[in-house]
């Protein structure tokens, strides 16, 4: 993939009633965010929207105007409730039809498996005009790219195979580097010196993530910057800061 | 809690860079959606937004106008990156200050624990004007309600204790009932008869959720309606539909 010096941003849209009902725990956002982050693309917002065309259109059009890339997952299967392709076509104001290359790939796949390529399966070849296909090495039915929007499957293994295949279509920016310094220390204690450290290094993003385990609070301090030397310097100061509070810090890579 | 005959809706906003970076897997949406669903409140949208005031304000103001309730999690701790309370005050255009009752609760808590009630900890008593407190039985620092927006902690155990405590403030609608019929059957096979069933019962929401395991595709069909008799009738027809395809269905409660 190519790289750019500017900050490159993305949004993720997860499409499906099943996440909003609590039935399914989303497993895609974490993977997409981590994978993009490693390539210098920062996820700045994520939305979960229901299987309702107007809602999908609204989210896609808002987020594609706001960020460099938008990645969607879910709703591109053969059943009546899979309305993502039609919704994306509506968002872009383009017609949708059976894409010849998508039809050919699916025809070959089903022929080889001696499975009927029925009308429902042909639905998976419906692609908005001007879109380009995204390969699906797992189950063949392709995703697609239109403008800066990448439309992928919801099944995690299929989504992961799809996004891996589009790496060379993306331009990454400077990679955000991270480290963490954790300790069994209350946030109320670390807050003041951490605030001082943040004021000293405003160009470093500093987050404190509390946890509560076995009746004790701890905090994981995460530092992020694109500057490796600066990150090392801040990490050392954070280690000293935690030690000064009488706690032995646990240093990590921020993941 | 009281109940209403109308459809009652909600949105969930998860606030925090750590979910967008992929470092933390959200565990709150599933709990909130399930808990609300059991009380007849349907989560229609969820957003993950970064620790940036304008982004929080925008999400809160959009979603509180669109749905009956908004629930937020995250960003109400004592550190500099906890900006949720200030952002909510900005969203509602009200001042924010140290809330006397919140101060009293925290003072008593820290006095009892012989811990200093320092400025950072006092930050957790900053509550927008006109808001009412939400109890925090775990670590005392309260959440708050302003208008139809409920502001809760991000730590799952604390958030769960908070939402449980506000049940009396909510009005639930007709509870959405669900059942599922699953089978080791490709979506491309089930799609056509499922579409026929959907056309026959348009008032029942029907979703097909494919899964891929050990090289085989299966589908979990989920049916949702507020009408118990209708749900039982549709479930029986779905069971027959799957059996007619030569697969023994596995019936579940839709969760």
Give me the residue label for tokens 């797992």.
A138
Can you state the angle between helices B187-200 and B228-244, rounded to 10 degrees? Answer: 140
HSE toward the beta carbon, residue A148, CA cutoff 13 A: 17
Q: Is residue A66 within 8 Å of residue A94, measured between CB atoms?
A: no
| The predicted structure's pLDDT at residue B210 | 84
Query: Where does the pLDDT of residue B40 fall: very low under 50, low under 70, confident under 90, or very high at 90 and above?
Result: very high
Asked whether the beta carbons of residue B192 and residue A119 sit closer than 8 angstroms, the reply is yes
- Whether residue A22 and residue B32 make contact (CB cut-off 8 A), yes or no, is yes
The ipTM assigned to this model is 0.94
CB–CB contact A207 B17 (8 Å):
yes
Measured N-to-C along each axis, helices B84-92 and B53-66 cross at an angle, to the nearest 10 degrees, of 50
According to the model, what pLDDT value does residue B45 have? 98
Q: Are A63 and A11 in contact (CB under 8 A)?
A: yes
Q: In chain B, what is the straight-line distance between the N-terminal and C-terminal CA atoms, in Å?
A: 23
Confidence of residue B56 (pLDDT cuts 50, 70, 90): very high
Query: Does B217 score more than 90 pLDDT?
Result: no
Q: Give the closest-approach CA distance of A149 to chain B in angstroms.
A: 18
**Is residue B52 scored above 80 in pLDDT?**
yes
Q: Give dist(CA B123, CA A186) in Å, integer.
A: 14
- For chain A, 255 residues long, the average pLDDT of each consecutive 10-residue run is 86 95 93 96 98 97 98 95 97 98 97 93 97 95 98 96 97 93 92 96 93 82 95 97 94 83
> Would you state the pLDDT for residue B146?
98
Instruction: Write out the CATH class of domain A177-252.
Output: alpha beta
Q: For the domain bounded by A2-172, which CATH number is listed?
A: 3.40.980.10
The rounded mean pLDDT for chain B is: 95
Least confident among A61-70, A156-165, B207-216, B229-238: B207-216
pLDDT at B229 over 80: yes
Q: What is residue B126's predicted lDDT score, i.e. its pLDDT?
A: 98
Q: What is the pLDDT of residue A113?
A: 87
Q: Would you kindly state where each structural domain of chain B is located, as residue ranges?
A: 2-172, 177-252
First-residue to last-residue Cα distance in chain A = 23
Task: Please indicate whether the domains covering A2-172 and A177-252 agree at the CATH topology level.
Answer: no
Give the nearest partner residue to B48 out of A46, A50, A254, using CB atoms: A46
CB contact under 8 A, A23 and B195: no
């Amino acid at each position: 993939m190519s790289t750019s010096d500017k900050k490159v941003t993305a949004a993720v849209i997860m499409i499906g009633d099943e996440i909003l009902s609590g039935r399914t725990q989303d497993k895609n956002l974490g993977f997409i965010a981590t994978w993009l982050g490693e390539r210098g693309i920062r996820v700045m917002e994520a939305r979960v929207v229901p299987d309702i065309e107007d809602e999908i259109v609204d989210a896609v059009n808002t987020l594609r105007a706001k960020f460099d890339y938008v990645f969607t997952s879910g709703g591109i299967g053969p059943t009546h409730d899979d309305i993502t392709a039609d919704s994306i076509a509506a968002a872009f104001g383009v017609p949708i039809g059976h894409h010849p290359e998508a039809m050919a790939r699916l025809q070959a796949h089903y022929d080889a498996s001696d499975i009927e390529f029925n009308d429902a399966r042909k639905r998976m070849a419906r692609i908005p005009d001007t879109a380009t296909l995204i390969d699906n090495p797992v189950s063949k039915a392709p995703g697609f790219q239109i403008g800066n929007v990448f439309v992928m499957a919801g099944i995690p293994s299929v989504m992961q195979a799809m996004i891996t295949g589009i790496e060379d279509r993306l331009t990454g920016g400077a990679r955000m580097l991270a480290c963490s310094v954790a300790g069994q220390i209350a946030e109320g204690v670390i807050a003041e010196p951490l605030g001082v450290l943040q004021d000293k290094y405003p160009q470093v993003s500093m987050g404190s993530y509390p946890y509560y385990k076995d009746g004790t609070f701890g905090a994981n301090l995460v530092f992020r910057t694109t500057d490796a030397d600066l990150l090392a310097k801040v990490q050392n100061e954070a280690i000293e800061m935690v030690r000064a509070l009488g706690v032995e810090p646990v240093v990590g890579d921020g993941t």
